[in-house]
Amino acid sequence: MTTGYVYHEIFGWHDTGTHAGLFPSHPQAGIQPLAHVENADTKRRLHELLVVSGLMDHLVRVRPRPATEEEILRVHDRAHLDRVKAQSLLPKGGDAGDGLSPFGQGGYEIAALAAGGAVEAVDAVLAGRVDNAYALVRPPGHHAEPGRGMGFCVFGNVAIAVHHALAVHGLERVAVLDWDVHHGNGTQKAFYADPRVLTISLHQDDVFPPHSGRRHERGTGEGLGTALNVPLPAGSGDGAYLYAMDTVVTPALRAFRPQLIVVASGFDASAMDPMAHQMVTSEGYRALTTRLLDTAAELCGGRVAMSHEGGYNPTYVPFCGLAVMETLAGVRTLDDPFLPIVSGFAGQDLQPHQRDAIDAAIAVPARDRT
Ligand code: 9RB
Ligand code: ZN
């Protein structure tokens, strides 16, 4: 397998500032400054593990380039683009729209490079230069909505890349699988009425955005049935994720027959993540990737492009990302030293209430499909 890999050191320079994780520091309120939870560490350490493990020697580097205004405007409105651009000129930068998505001076150029990185990953796959690809980009993108950034996301990297596949490569059907632990609301919104794009989101039920990603959100108009949400109970591990893959995701992909599958790949459903409460192991991510590649081989010549989203444990994210990229490339390198611990956590197997939640996602009654 030839696997493309997009990365640029400047992704680590996207400056989310000093926060107490999520909140701006506020000494009088007892909020002591620390790093913002969406800082460079997890992604930079993943990149470095790819090098140190030797996997990088098996990957084909794909250079990111900035997304053009035309590409960004396929997803976002002019007001959002201009606001980010204007605030990016300020010495202290600004916020992409919801007060939770800070960026530093020059943040526009880095966010455009992240979106363009996802575009280049899709391009490399569709042009046949590689079999599949992974774009390790920052800032993330799946929460960004047409009119504003959200949840650490500035531009919708995956949505912009999917639009590129439709507009430039002339694809008629593209599927997005979002396995970040949070709902992929931005990507869903970009294609909610669009029958050409199936968006599937596996996420912990009601974490972020609040009240988003419910089972009855199924698309609208021509796009009715082309949004699919699988909210999973807190505590879901490898068993639940693989059951969801086998009973919901794979059948939905088979029914839709995509010509390309794009993955919004967050690792915040891992057993070690500080921002959510799922229990997926690196072997879980490896197995999800294996299943997805098998389905892609059956449906679309194996064409899969992934773009990085969340994941906040700096010691564990690298091993999850390594497992995914090893699987894309068909190579094994280092073992995950955490695996004996996390795979031994009680409840990794599918639990009855998790099965019920996943089965309910399949069986959304027709009357709720609006
Ligand atoms: C705050 C709120 C959050 C919580 C989680 C994320 C995760 C993003 C991600 C982003 C923002 C709310 C601080 C709501 O990893 N996506 O993949 N913010 N949560 N209200 N307030 C005050
Ligand atoms: Zn997330």
Domain ranges of the chain: 3-359
Per-residue 3-state assignment (H helix, E strand, C coil) for 159-222: HHHHHHHHHCCCCCCEEEEECCCCCCHHHHHHCCCCCCEEEEEEEECCCCCCCCCCCCCCCCHH
DSSP state letter for 237: B
Residue numbers annotated as active site: 143
Which whole-number Å values give the CA distances from 260 to 97, 113, 359, in the listed order?
31, 22, 26
Closest CA to ligand 1's atom 15:
310
Segment 215-240 shows an average pLDDT of: 97
Query: What ligand 1 atom has the least distance to the C-alpha of 268?
Result: 15
Any ligand 1 atom below 6 A from CB of 182 = yes
User: At a CB cut-off of 8 Å and minimum separation 6, what does 291 contact?
Assistant: 242, 245, 246, 250
Closest CA to ligand 1's atom 5:
208
Buried b (16+ CB within 10 A) or exposed e, 302-311: bbbbbbbbbb
Closest CA to ligand 1's atom 3:
151
10-20 confidence digits (pLDDT tens): 999 999 999 98
| CA distance linking residue 238 with residue 234, whole number of Å | 13
Gyration radius (Cα) of the chain, Å: 19
Any ligand 1 atom below 6 A from CB of 149 = no
Please tell me the distance between residue 207's alpha carbon and the centre of ligand 2 in angstroms.
9
- The pLDDT value recorded for residue 370 is 42
Closest CA to ligand 1's atom 17:
310
CATH number of 3-359: 3.40.800.20
Ligand found nearest the CA of 142: 1
Please tell me the distance between residue 96's alpha carbon and the centre of ligand 1 in angstroms.
13
Query: What ligand 1 atom has the least distance to the C-alpha of 38?
Result: 15
Q: With bands split at pLDDT 50, 70 and 90, how would you rate the model's confidence at 363?
A: confident
- The pLDDT value recorded for residue 90 is 98
Which whole-number Å values give the CA distances from 215 to 96, 145, 257, 282, 322, in the listed order?
28, 20, 22, 27, 31
Any ligand 1 atom below 6 A from CB of 197 = no
Segment 231-245 shows an average pLDDT of: 98
Any ligand 1 atom below 6 A from CB of 178 = no
Confirm if 263 and 292 have CB atoms less than 8 A apart.
yes
50-72 confidence digits (pLDDT tens): 999 999 999 999 999 999 999 99
Any ligand 1 atom below 6 A from CB of 100 = yes
Q: With bands split at pLDDT 50, 70 and 90, how would you rate the model's confidence at 364?
A: low
Confirm if 303 and 259 have CB atoms less than 8 A apart.
yes
At residue 308, the 3 state secondary structure works out as strand
Please tell me the distance between residue 367's alpha carbon and the centre of ligand 2 in angstroms.
30
268-306 confidence digits (pLDDT tens): 999 999 999 999 999 999 999 999 999 999 999 999 999
Any ligand 1 atom below 6 A from CB of 151 = yes
Both tokens assigned to 309: 């989203």
Please tell me the distance between residue 100's alpha carbon and the centre of ligand 1 in angstroms.
7
User: At a CB cut-off of 8 Å and minimum separation 6, what does 15 contact?
Assistant: 93, 102, 103, 104, 105, 107
Both tokens assigned to 261: 């599958």
Any ligand 1 atom below 6 A from CB of 266 = yes
Any ligand 1 atom below 6 A from CB of 180 = yes
Query: What ligand 1 atom has the least distance to the C-alpha of 151?
Result: 10
Please tell me the distance between residue 225's alpha carbon and the centre of ligand 1 in angstroms.
28
pTM value surpassing 0.95: yes
Q: With bands split at pLDDT 50, 70 and 90, how would you rate the model's confidence at 365?
A: low
- The pLDDT value recorded for residue 1 is 86
Sheet containing 174-178: give its strands across. 59-62, 3-6, 132-135, 304-308, 260-265, 174-178, 197-204, 227-232
Please tell me the distance between residue 218's alpha carbon and the centre of ligand 1 in angstroms.
23
